[in-house]
Amino acid sequence: MTTPLELHDIALEIATEAGELARRRRGEGVSIAASKSTIADIVTEADREVEALIRDRLAQARPEDGFLGEESGDAGGTSGVTWIVDPIDGTVNYAFGMPSYAVSIAAVEGSVHPGEWRALAGVVHAPALGETFRAAAGEGAWLGEERLAVTEHTPAGALIATGLGYDQSTHAGDLEVLSRVMPLARDIRRIGAASLDLAFVAAGRLDGYFERGLQPWDLAAGRLLVDEAGGRTGWFEPDEHGRALTIVAGPELYEQLRVRILG
Ligand code: IPD
Ligand code: CA
């Protein structure tokens, strides 16, 4: 049987190669390939090329596993393991020349529904930041050789990240929720890449993070990082716009966020 650490090693090697490709393509200039859910929700040629590379490498290394990628869809497997991949998370940052983008690769067992899978391994590799966050189930979360831990107390208020997504019709409601959260906050961050929001909570760089509308590939690797760093992670069923809610933080702040967001 394959161990989570073996899956972690595969994810790490492929994410590193994929990150080099993304970074090289960024240096050559970005071309927008299409818009997706809204005109602001873009995909670049590099997203597609990087996902194709990851898919190809995984097919060579793990031909019996399933695959679910943001850009190229899904394929079933026979092993019970599925790879969930965001080739470039933070595509808008990438297109605008901001360094906060990441390759996110996770291996999960069971369903590909975030409320049901068991995450086995996850890597969030940010090539322009020169940082690779990684975790295997039961083995902790790591940045290089540093073991990660979430923050536990926020006496001066919490540094909280969130995201607003690409659909303007949901922004007013999200800002209203944010106003309810503000009494907990020392300040707010909007990083623009959910995988990095999650990795930064795992690393104690953020105290907490919440967002509606994340997809499996945005969070599969990052949520394992938070779990393995001692945090709490919640996935709540979709609102009237079909957007599930993700909340992650240390245990104390998690509960405070949950109450303020959901009432
Ligand atoms: C997006 C980013 C962003 C979040 C969006 C995601 P993408 O992913 O993670 O921070 O607010 O909901 O879709 O499109 O850059 O891969
Ligand atoms: Ca993406």
Cα-based distances in Å from 187 to 77, 108, 149, 153, 190: 44, 33, 20, 15, 10
Per the rule left: phi > 0, alpha: psi between -120 and 50, beta: everything else, 119 is beta
**Do 185 and 158 contact (CB within 8 A), yes or no?**
yes
What pLDDT score does 108 carry? 98
- What's the CA gap between 61 and 227, in Å, rounded? 26
**Backbone Cα Rg of the chain:** 17
Q: Using the structure block, give the residue that is written with the tokens 């926020």.
A: 154
- Which residues have CB less than 5 Å away from ligand 2 (the ion)? 70, 86, 89, 91
Six-digit token string for 78: 């026979």
What pLDDT score does 219 carry? 98
Q: What is the position in ligand 1's atom list of the atom closest to the CA of 211?
A: 11
Q: Whose CA is nearest to atom 2 of ligand 1?
A: 193
What pLDDT score does 32 carry? 80
Is any ligand 1 atom within 6 A of the Cβ of residue 51? no
What DSSP string describes 57-106? HHHHH-TTSEEEETTTEEE--SSSEEEEEEEEE-HHHHHHT-S--EEEEE
Say how many Å lie between the CA of residue 167 and the centre of ligand 1.
12
| Nearest ligand by distance to the CA of 22 | 2
Taken in order of first residue, the domains within the chain and their CATH numbers are: 4-147 (3.30.540.10), 158-262 (3.40.190.80)
Six-digit token string for 4: 């989570």
Six-digit token string for 230: 């001692």
Q: What is the position in ligand 1's atom list of the atom closest to the CA of 70?
A: 16
Q: List alpha helices for 4-90, DSSP H.
A: 4-28, 45-61
Say how many Å lie between the CA of residue 182 and the centre of ligand 2.
28
Q: What is the position in ligand 1's atom list of the atom closest to the CA of 101?
A: 15
Q: Using the structure block, give the residue that is written with the tokens 């997706």.
A: 36
Tens digit of pLDDT at every position of the chain (263 positions) = 799 999 999 999 999 999 999 999 999 987 787 887 777 777 889 999 999 999 999 999 999 999 999 999 899 999 999 999 999 999 999 999 999 999 999 999 999 999 999 999 999 999 999 999 999 999 999 999 999 999 999 999 999 999 998 889 999 999 999 999 999 999 999 999 999 999 999 999 999 999 999 999 999 999 999 999 999 999 998 999 999 999 999 999 999 999 999 98
What pLDDT score does 41 carry? 77
